[in-house]
Structure 1
Amino acid sequence: MDNLIFFNPGDSIGNFHDYDEAVRTAQIYREANHVQDGHVLVVKGVDNKAFDIFLADNEITHQNENGDDSKAYQVSKEV
């Protein structure tokens, strides 16, 4: 997948330097919290140094009036 998606970094479930660890953690989180398939995302930050886990429901689709601290992430895997 090569699409960019915006999230507030504070909504991250976890931050990892190892891709495989991020995917395993996302799978465990999905199972433990009974989240539907594809709703937990492992994303790579634009800086390409780390992987974060977000819930798809936390995607930011527009700027709010007060501004926000959203950042662009590249989707690596939907879990």
Structure 2
Amino acid sequence: MDEMVFFNPGDAIANSRDFGEAVRGAQIYKAKDPYESSLIIAEDATNKKSFAVYFASDEKTEGKGPNDDKSVIPYHVKKRI
């Protein structure tokens, strides 16, 4: 079962239609600053051909209240670095 996470697309470090390219971008970014927050490579839950790289610390919690942030969308975690 895939792990579902939520992010604001504007917080993405990198975007790609190729999973391998997204992984390489995350590895390069992590090599520049290894002490930064861990990275998550996630697949857009609505567009299965789109991958994004996020800081794990930018993960949002899905809310059910009236102040929900409509810009937060679901992703499936594909890899953690």
**Which secondary structure does the structure 2 equivalent of 1:28 belong to?**
helix
**Which residues of structure 2 form unaligned runs of 5+?**
none
Q: Which runs of 4+ in 1 moved over 3 A?
A: 62-66
What is the rounded CA distance, in whole Å, between the counterparts of 1:9 and 1:15 in structure 2?
9
Q: Does 1:40 align with 2:43?
A: no
Question: Deviation string for 1:19-50 (max 9, x for gaps)?
Answer: 1110011011111022368x101000012021
What is the rounded CA distance, in whole Å, between the counterparts of 2:35 and 2:49 in structure 1?
27
Backbone CA RMSD of aligned residues: 1.9
**Which residues of structure 1 form unaligned runs of 5+?**
none
What is the rounded CA distance, in whole Å, between the counterparts of 2:35 and 2:42 in structure 1?
17
What is the rounded CA distance, in whole Å, between the counterparts of 1:8 and 1:65 in structure 2?
18
Identical counterparts, % of pairs: 37
**Which secondary structure does the structure 2 equivalent of 1:34 belong to?**
coil
